[in-house]
Structures are given as C-alpha cells and as structure tokens.
Amino acid sequence: MSSVLNDTMAAAEEGSIEEAAGPRRRRWREPKLLTGAGIVIVIVLFGLLGPLLTQDPYAVDNIGMTPPSGDHLLGTTQTGEDVLAQLAHGTRGSLLIGVMVGAMTLGLSAFFGILGAFVGGILDELFSLLTNIVLVIPGLPLMIVIGSYVEQKSIFLVAGVLALTGWAAGARVVRAQTLSLRDRDYVLATRVAGESTWRIICVEILPNLLPVLSSGFVFSIVFAILGEAGLAFIGIGASDSLTWGTMLADAQNGQALLLGGWWWFVAPGFLIAILGCGLALINFSIDEIINPKLRPARARKRSS
Amino acid sequence: MATLEVRALKKDFPVREGVRRTLFPAVKGVDFELNAGSTVALVGQSGSGKSTVARMIAQLERPTGGEILLNGQPATFRRRGMREYRSQVQMVFQDPFASLNPFHTIAHHLERPLLRNGRVRGKAALRARVEELLERVNLTPADSFAERRPHELSGGQRQRVAIARALAPEPTVLIADEPVSMLDVSIRLGILHLLARLQREENLAVLYITHDLATARHFSDEILVMYQGEVVERGPADDVILRPTAEFTRRLANAAPEPARTERFRRAAARYASGGDGDGDGDGDGDGDGGAEPSGAPGAPDASGTSGTP
C-alpha cells in the first residue's frame, strides 16, 4: 500500500503524469487574410509604381472626355487629363493619408490608452476625460472651420485633423484591454521580480496588446481614406495633391455623370470600395485570431 | 533573528458607495515571523485577508499600518531598498494559467529575474543557469522546455516554471499563495513535495497560504488561522489541527471531508473485516458526516495519509 503510494508520489514529483501540450497551430492559411492582403498589396504596388509608369497627371490635351482607348487606358477627363495617371497619383495620395493617419492614431491611442490605464488614479481620470471629449468632436465641422482659416490645405494638415479627431475610439479599446492586462498575475510577477514600470509596459503588456493595436491601425486607415474622400468631395480636402477624393470631386465639378463620362468616377470609386473591402477582410481575420469564437464552426473543428 | 518579521500589519481598502467613502479593514493587525528552513501556513477561508498579507509582503500592496522587517531591516517602498528586498522575497501565484506571459518563452521568464539581479553574466552562463533552474523543478529535457511558450505546457508544468522563476533571484523568503488550488488533484502533491524539497535544499523561509488544512498540517511547522482579517489561532501544526481552541478552527477542521468519520466508511470497513459479506442493511442515511457543512469544505483530501483524523 505505502510503496504504491510512494511510487505515485515519485511519479508526480517527476511530472511524468502531466501530459504534454499539442503542437503549435498555423494561422496563415486563412482565405480571408489571403484575399484581403492580396487586394491591399496590389493597390499599394499600383500606388508605388503607377506614378513612375504613367504620364503627367496634369498634362492637358485637347481631346477631352474620351472613353477608354489604346492611348488612354482609362479615358480622359473633361480637360483631357489621363485618368489612369490621375488614378495612380491619387492612389499614392490616398494611401499616404491613410498610413499617416493610421500611424498617428496608433501612437495617440496607445499613449493615452496604455499610460492612463497602467498608471491609474488621477492620470487615468484626466486621460479618460480627454478621450471622451475628443470622441465627440466631429471631424467634418472642425475641418470646415479650419478650412475657412487656412487657404492652402496641405495633405499633412488634412491627415493631422483626421488623426486628431479619430484616435479616441481606439484609445478606449486599448485602455479597456490594458486594464484587464495590468492586474494579471504575470504582470504582478514581473513587479515582484523588480522590473521597472517602463519595461513592464513595453515588454510584458505591449506585445499582448498587438492584436488590438493592429486591428485599430487597419481600421483607422479605412477611416482616414473614406474621411479624406468625403472632405475632398465637398471641396475642403487637400488642395496640393491628388487623391481619390479630389478625383471624385473633380468628376462631380466636371459634370462627368451628365456627360456620360463614367470612367472618370468609377475608377476611383472602385478603388476606394475594393481597398476598404481588403482592409476589412484583414481586420476580420485579426479579430478571429484575437477571439477564436468568431471563427466559423468548421474551421474551429479542424484546428482544434 | 527571524528572516522576515511582520509586526501589526494592517490594510484598509477604500470602498466607494456612491458619494460616501468608507474603509474596509481587510487585515487588522497581524504579527508573525518566518524563519529560514521552516514553513508557516496561513489558513483561512476566502476573504479572510490571507492573500492580502501575501501581497503586502511581496510589496504589491502598501500596508496601511505596521511593519515588515527583512533581516531586521524595515522594508521600504523606495527604489533602492526595494531592489534588494525584491531579490530576497519571491512569490508563487495561485493561478499558473495567469502567472506566465503568453507572449514570451519559458526561457524569457527565467532570464529576466536572473539578469535583473546581476548574478549572471554572458549568454552561455545565462542559458546554463536557466536550464539548471528547469532541471531543479524536474522539467526535463530542460533545453526543450526553455524554448516553449506557456500555452504548450500543462497547469502543473506551468506552476513548476513559476516556482523556478521565484527561485531564480536566490531568495531567502518564498511566499506561496495557494500554489496548488488551481491544479488537478492528481498533481497537487507533486508540486507540494517539490516545494518542500526546494525549501530543504535552499533553507528557505516559506509562507504557505492555503485553505486546505490537511496539506497545511503536513507541509508546515506552524499554522496561523485567519478569520476576518485577524489571526484567531496559532501554534505548531499538529496542535492547531488536533486541539483547536478557537471556534472557527474547529469548524474549519470539521468541514474537511474525512472518509473515516462517515457511516458509509464504517460499514464498508466492517464488511471488509467480516470477510466481504455485504448485508444490505436498512439503515437509510448512509453518508451523513458528523461535522459541519461540507459546502465550505476546502481542497480535496490528499492521498498522503495525512487527513488529520482526531
């Protein structure tokens, strides 16, 4: 009796009773992620390389409003500018705004979200108050107000306003997640080990926020491109560069619809829609990685 | 001199009820000593303040009153003194599924405290020390465990990593806050024996916090019983369990399920003694045990034959 007991105890001491964990899962075979990434990569390549291969987007020709042909693959505008060249430069402009706003939003929401939640106390109250105020500042009226003061609105000004009005929602998500991470035992354990606050935030907490931060980054790119297109369309966008929004605004002003020049507005409209779709697909798959419950039942069964 | 001494330790938590703020006394003045090579068990039910005591000693909470003395020196919350204190006093947490960062490898968890205390220099030496620590907690082959991430380990293996992490800075005091209560019954004993062995080898002063009287009696030299923030009973382990003076301790001891006290056990024993001839008696209530409600019963009885039968 006692020898059996001793054997079990010895076995338990050695840890041989415990089962080994399964192999690690692979995640990159997800069709949503592949499709989304494919779309985004093609559009980014077009934005990067397109302007080098096409003609001057502002070059005026006397053949205005011609449908797509061998000379002008996507037709021309009313003043004879090549739509494909405009589209290439517009893609570059829109993506630039998207990435700038995405980066600024990421920085602001991470700063206010993580620091407030981690430090707590009065700082958290202040940061939450600021976040809530910014959350209800509408971007469009602010842009109209700024637009009436600034004559030449650069692409950076537009990006700045979009970022300043767009970071708050992300900050609240990050704050909530940080609050839940802050009191996890593994964070407490690093405090017991004597790690500095700075290191705890950067090395222990930040990596676990990556899914939330990256999904916020992707979302803010979509938000920025759509927001810029909206601003440009009503005539208060960037006045120094081409974007998809300024193309749509020009098409509207050039009465493209009335004159039957569908190629002028369909091209940028299509790219906005397809990029939004691609980024949304990426975002969905990030969400599924964070929260496996969102995965379709069949996929879940296969992976478990 | 005691390795760690706690004097009149108090903690009040602010409670907000609408506009009013009141103080909830979680720990109302606790004194005890931890000595090298001996284990003190702190038992009590949920909410009795035993975990708060542990968190104050680990300097995760600031005490409202009282003193913590490490080798006679008062513990400080200032940066310089804290570093020395941290390397001396380590803690093992209750939930092994929450106490390891899912993002980092096992090696990372052990390297950081080693580097932090500046005991190890150079990559090779660091690696060797990590593998040595893993071997000490019986996680072999150590080089394979070092590269894994927490989600690839079972609960018991994770708790072994947590113990290795606590040992890394070569502490003199180890606080184990219910180290086995989240684990499967079959592996609890293994972890407790591991802790006991390491304590012997390192001559550690251990504070073992639990709500399981049986393991407290078996693995500790002295038992302190906490109830609503106060120590209601203290003394050598056997005395506290076998001759409880406080009413609460008696209730706690009686609440532990003990097969030997039940009617069914006695009948089964009688049956075995008489040659296995079951008689199917008409006695209706078979399993009424003489003690208090088993609903508040602490952890399962273990197989080590220590269930303190009076």
Q: Please determine, for residue B174, whether its predicted confidence score (pLDDT) is greater than 80.
A: yes
Contacts of A219 (CB under 8 A, 6+ apart): A170, A279, A283
Range of weakest confidence among A143-147, A253-257, A287-291, B226-230: A287-291
Band (pLDDT 50/70/90 cuts) for residue A239 is confident
Are the beta carbons of B101 and A195 closer than 8 angstroms?
no
Q: Which residues of A touch B (CB under 8 A)?
A: 2, 5, 8-9, 11-15, 17-22, 24, 184-195, 204, 207-208
Cβ contact (<8 Å) for B60 and A189? Answer: no
Evaluate whether residue A11 is within a structural domain.
no
Q: What is the mean pLDDT of chain A?
A: 80
Cβ contact (<8 Å) for A5 and B116? Answer: no
Cβ contact (<8 Å) for B154 and A20? Answer: yes
Cβ contact (<8 Å) for A24 and B187? Answer: no
Show the tokens assigned to B55.
């968190």
* Separation in Å, CA of B283 to nearest CA in chain A: 31
What pLDDT, in 10s, does the model give residues A15-60?
443 333 334 445 556 788 889 999 999 999 988 888 887 777 777 7
Q: Please determine, for residue A99, whether its predicted confidence score (pLDDT) is greater than 90.
A: yes
- Chain B residue with CA closest to A195: the answer is B116
Q: What is the mean pLDDT of chain B?
A: 80
Q: Please determine, for residue A77, whether its predicted confidence score (pLDDT) is greater than 80.
A: no
Are the beta carbons of A75 and A263 closer than 8 angstroms?
yes
Q: Please determine, for residue B310, whether its predicted confidence score (pLDDT) is greater than 50.
A: no
pLDDT score of A69: 75
Question: What's the domain count of chain B?
Answer: 1
Residues of A in contact with B190 (CB under 8 A): 9, 11-15, 17
Compute the average pLDDT of residues A64-77.
73
Burial (CB count within 10 angstroms: exposed 0-12, middle 13-18, buried 19+), residue A301: exposed
Alpha-carbon gap, residue A209 to A211, rounded angstroms: 6
Q: To which residue do tokens 């039940």 refer?
A: B262
Evaluate whether residue A16 is within a structural domain.
no
Compute the average pLDDT of residues B90-96.
89
Closest-CA residue to A166 (of A139, A144, A133, A130)? A139
What pLDDT, in 10s, does the model give residues B198-242?
888 888 899 999 888 888 888 889 999 888 888 888 888 888 888
Contacts of B96 (CB under 8 A, 6+ apart): B155, B156, B158, B159, B161, B162, B182, B183
Contacts of A297 (CB under 8 A, 6+ apart): none
- Chain B residue with CA closest to A189: the answer is B99
Alpha-carbon gap, residue B280 to A1, rounded angstroms: 28
pLDDT score of B155: 86
What pLDDT, in 10s, does the model give residues A286-303?
877 766 666 665 544 444
What pLDDT, in 10s, does the model give residues B112-152?
888 877 767 788 888 888 888 898 888 888 888 888 888 88
Q: What is the DSSP string of A113-136?
A: HHHHHHH-HHHHHHHHHHHHHHHH
Q: Mutation target for A interface from B59, B80, B97, B101: give the one with most A CBs within 10 A.
A: B101
pLDDT score of A296: 61
- Is the omega angle on the peptide bond into residue B141 within 30 degrees of 0, that is, cis? yes
Q: Are strands B39-43 and B205-210 parallel, antiparallel or unpaired?
A: parallel
Band (pLDDT 50/70/90 cuts) for residue A98 is very high
Cα separations (Å) of B195 from A25, A220, A295, B37, B137? 34, 50, 41, 12, 9
Task: Compute CA A109 distance to the chain's CA centroid, rounded to the nearest angstrom.
Answer: 13
Q: Please determine, for residue B59, whether its predicted confidence score (pLDDT) is greater than 50.
A: yes
Q: How many residues does chain B have?
A: 310
Name the percent of chain B lying above pLDDT 70. 85
pLDDT score of A297: 57
Which of A11, A185, A195 lies closest to B116 in CB terms?
A: A195
Cβ contact (<8 Å) for B190 and A5? Answer: no
pLDDT score of B275: 66
Within B29-151, residue ranges assigned H as helices are: 50-57, 79-88, 106-116, 123-136, 142-146
Evaluate whether residue A63 is within a structural domain.
no
* Separation in Å, CA of B284 to nearest CA in chain A: 32
What's the CATH number where A291 sits?
A: 1.10.3720.10
Indicate the residue type of A90.
G
Task: Supply the DSSP symbol for B212.
Answer: -
* Separation in Å, CA of B102 to nearest CA in chain A: 8
Evaluate whether residue A252 is within a structural domain.
yes
pLDDT score of B304: 41
* Separation in Å, CA of A3 to nearest CA in chain B: 12
Evaluate whether residue B294 is within a structural domain.
no
Cβ contact (<8 Å) for B189 and A9? Answer: yes
What pLDDT, in 10s, does the model give residues A174-205?
999 999 888 888 888 888 888 888 888 888 88
Phi, psi of B218 (to 5 degrees): -75, -35
* Separation in Å, CA of B100 to nearest CA in chain A: 5
Evaluate whether residue A92 is within a structural domain.
yes
Cβ contact (<8 Å) for B139 and A15? Answer: yes
Band (pLDDT 50/70/90 cuts) for residue B260 is low
What pLDDT, in 10s, does the model give residues B8-50?
888 888 888 878 888 888 888 889 889 888 899 998 888 888 8
What pLDDT, in 10s, does the model give residues B141-159?
888 888 888 888 888 889 9
Evaluate whether residue A58 is within a structural domain.
no
Q: How many residues does chain A have?
A: 304
B88 against B281, higher pLDDT: B88
Q: Please determine, for residue A101, whether its predicted confidence score (pLDDT) is greater than 90.
A: yes
pLDDT score of A16: 40
Band (pLDDT 50/70/90 cuts) for residue A107 is very high
Range of the domain at A114: 30-52+74-303
Range of weakest confidence among A111-125, B137-151, B189-203: B137-151
Are the beta carbons of A211 and A283 closer than 8 angstroms?
no
pLDDT score of A171: 92
Which of B101, B157, B190 lies closest to A186 in CB terms?
A: B101
Residues of A in contact with B197 (CB under 8 A): 13
Evaluate whether residue A65 is within a structural domain.
no
Contacts of B288 (CB under 8 A, 6+ apart): B262, B263
What's the CATH number where B88 sits?
A: 3.40.50.300
Evaluate whether residue A129 is within a structural domain.
yes
Cβ contact (<8 Å) for A15 and B190? Answer: yes
Q: Mutation target for B interface from A192, A214, A304: give the one with most B CBs within 10 A.
A: A192
Range of the domain at B85: 4-257
Show the tokens assigned to B79.
């940066």
Helix (H) or strand (E) holding A41: helix A31-53
Compute the average pLDDT of residues B73-100.
82
Provide the number of CB pairs (under 8 Å) joining chain A to chain B: 104
Burial string for B81-103 (b: 16+ CB within 10 Å, else e) reads: eeeebbbbbbbbbbbbbbbbbeb
* Separation in Å, CA of A112 to nearest CA in chain B: 23
Q: To which residue do tokens 């990685």 refer?
A: A289
Range of weakest confidence among A205-209, A252-256, B58-62, B108-112: A252-256
Edge to edge, what strands does the sheet with B205-210 contain? B89-92, B173-177, B205-210, B39-43, B222-227, B230-236
Residues of A in contact with B82 (CB under 8 A): 194
